[in-house]
Amino acid sequence: MRLLILSFLLTFSVFGQNQQAKTYIETLCSPSFHGRGYVNGGDSIAANFIAKSFQEIGLKPLGENYFQEFNFPVQTFPGACELKMDGESLIPGVHFLVAPNSGPSCSEFGCTKGKSYRVVTCNVQKLFQSTASFYPCPNNVILAVRSFGISADSLKVIKARLRELSAFASVMDVTRDKFTWSVSQTANAYPFIQLQDSVFERMMEGNIELHLETRFLKSHVAKNVLGYVPAKKNAKRKPFLFLTAHYDHLGRMGQATYFPGANDNASGNGMIFSIAQELVKNPLDDYNVIFIAFAGEEIGLLGSKYFVENPLVPLKKIRFVLNMDIMGSGEDGITCVNSTLFKNEFDRLLQLNESGHYLTLIKPRGPAANSDHYFFTEAGVPSFFVYTMGPNKNYHDIFDTYEALSFAKFDEIRQLMLEFIRGF
């Protein structure tokens, strides 16, 4: 009976915590956070929410507050984002995407009407040679390039030509690929649209109407959010472990469409939040543990780069960085970037997984510049970047929603990471 009650209580507390982490993730994905990008102050809403949550669970600030500010330029789409073909409105994120560095359809922000463009399909062979025969391009023409059904090498050339064209013409990249959006530090003068071929086929040459407003932010202020759990004793003299996860995502593409970024990377924030709750209750003897929610990852790892260049603790005192990005599935295990660089730590992780029976696979991977661990590694700070693998392939698209997360191995990964951290 006693045992039963105990196990019931244990289950209950793990369940309660799991639910809290899920609610945290769901909040970060909600429309009022605007995809944690640069329209409607989404990233700063998220930063404030994370700092408040850090404070509530008992993480201490490193300085006067929980923030480290820095800035960068970014192109944004805070207004109209409408594309019509034959009078029919196309669905943003499904039928078309606006390139992250696209220019507007009108020269001034606040234009009330779309602009009509005549669609002219480029001869791909000609374009492969050079862009010369397409120059100059009339202002009311949009050049359509069907960039599929060609070899990977040729496609590279065609994509480069598209970028060249976009310097002097409005461009439409007609594709059969899954849409994958991004965010850019530069802005073109002319519109640059990606369109699904299934839509283009229905229309081919004709007219489109585009209403696209852009605003280039020359020096957007972003904030890394940091909090820590001091070591049990003599914290001032103790080294550090870092747990990191970027919270920024891609934001809005026009006021009607946003990218929730659930797997990438509200999920990682839920994970470090959940681990922080555990460590606050039971701190480590020999390490201070710093939790960082990084800003500006999607635009080029800018938040973690800034931190490494302006570290709030000496880099030499950081024993290990554990970066979490894409934590929402796990049916097929996790991948561990840098496992080949840090053999001992990786072996220990494998052993813990084996004895705890947590994940079906921990796949080793060499160094890669694909998340916030990168600049730490470059600066000589040991690090791992772990991400989950599973059937959820929604990535940098409007379908990366909270509802699409399976949380298949969320608890197991939290437990494994806690054991890994406690083993230093």
Q: How many residues bind Zn ion (CB under 5 A)?
A: 3
Nearer to Zn ion, 275 or 301 (CB): 301
Nearer to Zn ion, 43 or 82 (CB): 43
The DSSP output letter for 339 is: T
Q: How far is the CB of 230 from Zn ion (least distance, A)?
A: 29
Q: How far is the CB of 4 from Zn ion (least distance, A)?
A: 42
| Residue 266 token pair | 């509200």
Nearer to Zn ion, 213 or 248 (CB): 248
- Whether the CB-CB separation of 224 and 295 falls below 8 Å is answered with yes
Task: Report the chain's terminal Cα–Cα distance, integer Å.
Answer: 37
- Distances from the Cα of 319 to the Cα of 149, 230, 381, angstroms: 49, 15, 7
Nearer to Zn ion, 264 or 345 (CB): 264
Give the x-and-dash track for 149-168 against Zn ion (CB under 5 A). Answer: --------------------
Q: How far is the CB of 374 from Zn ion (least distance, A)?
A: 12
Give the x-and-dash track for 265-284 against Zn ion (CB under 5 A). Answer: x-------------------
Helix/strand/coil for 221:
strand
Tell me which residue has its CB nearest to Zn ion.
264
Stretch that binds Zn ion, among 2-10, 146-154, 233-241, 257-265 (CB under 5 A): 257-265
Nearer to Zn ion, 82 or 297 (CB): 297
Q: How far is the CB of 199 from Zn ion (least distance, A)?
A: 28
> How many of the other CB atoms lie within 10 Å of CB of 262?
25
Helix/strand/coil for 294:
strand
The C-alpha atoms of residue 326 and residue 249 are separated, in whole angstroms, by 12
- Residue 217: partners with Cβ closer than 8 Å, 6 or more residues away: 38, 73, 74, 75, 76
Query: Is the peptide bond prior to 136 cis by the omega test (within 30 degrees of 0)?
Result: yes
Q: How far is the CB of 142 from Zn ion (least distance, A)?
A: 32
- Residue 340: partners with Cβ closer than 8 Å, 6 or more residues away: 346, 364, 365, 366, 367
Nearer to Zn ion, 173 or 264 (CB): 264
- Enumerate residues 57-116 that contact Zn ion by CB under 5 A: none
Stretch that binds Zn ion, among 143-151, 174-182, 319-327, 353-361 (CB under 5 A): 319-327
- What are the helix (H) ranges across 359-409? 374-378
Nearer to Zn ion, 264 or 397 (CB): 264
- Enumerate residues 8-47 that contact Zn ion by CB under 5 A: none
Nearer to Zn ion, 20 or 370 (CB): 370
Q: 336 - beta bridge partners?
A: 364, 386
Q: Concatenated DSSP letters for 297-314?
A: -TTTSHHHHHHHHS-SS-
Stretch that binds Zn ion, among 65-73, 256-264, 279-287, 384-392 (CB under 5 A): 256-264
- Whether the CB-CB separation of 104 and 213 falls below 8 Å is answered with yes
The C-alpha atoms of residue 254 and residue 142 are separated, in whole angstroms, by 20
Q: How far is the CB of 184 from Zn ion (least distance, A)?
A: 16
Q: How far is the CB of 248 from Zn ion (least distance, A)?
A: 9
Q: Concatenated DSSP letters for 39-99?
A: STTHHHHHHHHHHHHHHHHTPBPSSSSSEEEEEEEEEEB-S-EEEEETTEEPPBTTTEEE-
Stretch that binds Zn ion, among 153-161, 188-196, 321-329, 374-382 (CB under 5 A): 321-329
Nearer to Zn ion, 325 or 345 (CB): 325
Check binding of 264 to Zn ion (CB under 5 A). yes
Nearer to Zn ion, 189 or 369 (CB): 369
Q: How far is the CB of 213 from Zn ion (least distance, A)?
A: 27
Q: How far is the CB of 271 from Zn ion (least distance, A)?
A: 13
Stretch that binds Zn ion, among 141-149, 176-184, 251-259, 318-326 (CB under 5 A): 318-326
Stretch that binds Zn ion, among 40-48, 110-118, 264-272, 312-320 (CB under 5 A): 264-272
- Residue 316: partners with Cβ closer than 8 Å, 6 or more residues away: none
- Enumerate residues 323-362 that contact Zn ion by CB under 5 A: 325
Nearer to Zn ion, 81 or 295 (CB): 295
The C-alpha atoms of residue 367 and residue 256 are separated, in whole angstroms, by 38
The C-alpha atoms of residue 337 and residue 348 are separated, in whole angstroms, by 15
Q: How far is the CB of 261 from Zn ion (least distance, A)?
A: 8
Q: Which residues bind Zn ion (CB under 5 A)?
A: 264-265, 325
